[in-house]
Amino acid sequence: MKKFYDVSLANPFMLGTSQYPSPAVLAKAFERSQASVATVSLRREASNDKAGQDFWKLIQQLNVHILPNTAGCHTVKEAVTTAHMAREVFNTRWIKLEVIGEEDTLQPDVFRLVEAARILNEDGFHVFPYTTEDLVVADRLVDAGCRVLMPWGSPIGSGMGLNNVFGLRALRAHFPDIPLVIDAGLGLPSQAAQAMELGMDAVLLNTAVSKAGDPAMMAEAFALAIRAGQLAHCADPMQVRDMACPSTPILGKAFLD
């Protein structure tokens, strides 16, 4: 497995921490998923806010890597400022960079994203940019210093899965040495398996688990699917054929007149 800024992950599962029914359910979901990374959003709360302190204590007890994000940011200044605040609060150089450009789809503003990524990389951050599957944008992000790319599968929280398999295949082929993380839009474990079968290096999701009837069970289901997809990719699967090919050889078969 590729390293994420010199960090090797035991499990290519990154799980969000928002919208769970309770802190106990969140903790159980992480336990059953064995996720290696927790994404967290910075909230502008007072330093003595008890709810904020309790949440941070819970996250620390998960014993996973913390990936703060700039969720809800629409400008370069807002994203950069939020990233700097997150680095102080969570004591990490990792930052999932989101710069939203369109409200209905929550599609990233790729122009501002590249600009913010360049600034943050120069400031010493390890940037995980939430982007599209566009090859030119990906190239600009790599030029800006990003060593991980996080293309969306489909709009955040939509559950539509991988909307552009061709684009994701092309991204994998063009950037064989860059870790790719499918971020956003996954709703079913089968979609996560498909992402890993394409050669993605990790999967990040939140809503599909936190909004499930049984979040802990769904978290485990995704973990199993991610592992299955990873194994399938490593096993060098058969190629798709245009014609049927018998699995039982005809050579040596008895023929009756």
206 annotated as ligand-binding: yes
| AA identity, residue 86 | A
Q: How far apart are alpha carbons 113 and 100 in whole angstroms?
A: 8
**Which tokens is 179 given?**
């870790």
Q: How far apart are alpha carbons 125 and 121 in whole angstroms?
A: 5
124 annotated as ligand-binding: no
171 contacts: CB under 8 Å, gap ≥ 6: 133, 135, 138, 149, 151, 180
Residue 253 annotated among the catalytic residues of the structure: no
Sort 23 into a burial class: Cβ within 10 Å, 0-12 / 13-18 / 19+: middle
| Active-site pick, 50, 96, 211, 253 | 96
79 annotated as ligand-binding: no
- What residues form the annotated binding site for 1-deoxy-D-xylulose 5-phosphate? 157, 184-185, 206-207
Active site amino acids = 96
Known binding-site residues equal 157, 184-185, 206-207
